A = this chain, B = another copy of it.
Amino acid sequence: MNDKVNLEQAFSQFSEYWSPQVAAELNGQHVRLAKLKGEFVWHAHENEDEMFLVIRGELTLRLRDRDVKLNAGEFFVVPRGVEHLPIALEEVCVLVFEPAETLNTGNVRNERTRTDLERLDR
């Protein structure tokens, strides 16, 4: 059986930005941990809702009609089909909860796209 995950310890295990690590899988969903810095790309997920829970730092989720600012201890669910652009002025540590088949860049494929995600050691 898997062991528990300590978030602080897990985030210390990797340093690459915009490269989600799979921390757990349950009910067909992934718990992914990511470090973000800078601006990502506008994208949407056609069939997947995506939850961002900020663990450290401040994340802006830019939507077409407004900005959602998330500090540590705050989360937001981007509904499927909604375009969003994550922006991190400084480093952000975020926990993402979404279906296991979710592509990080959604309907966009470019050099930021990550397939074959790494799994964190416990």
Contacts and interface: CB of A to CB of B under 8 A. Distances in A.
Interface residues on A, range: 20 to 34
**Per DSSP, are chain A's interface residues mostly helix, strand or loop, or mixed?**
strand
A82 interface: yes
A1 B31 CA distance: 23
A77 B29 contact: no
A102 to B, nearest CB: 9
B75 A5 contact: yes
Nearest to A6: B74
Interface of A: 1-8, 24, 26-27, 29, 31, 48-51, 55, 68, 70, 73-77, 79, 82, 97-99
Nearest to A69: B4
Q: Which 7 A-B pairs have the closest CB atoms?
A: A26-B49, A4-B76, A7-B73, A6-B74, A26-B77, A27-B49, A24-B77
Contacts of A51: 24, 26, 31
18 contacts: A1-B79, A2-B76, A4-B68, A4-B74, A5-B74, A5-B75, A6-B74, A7-B74, A7-B75, A24-B51, A24-B77, A26-B49, A26-B51, A26-B77, A27-B48, A29-B29, A31-B97, A97-B97
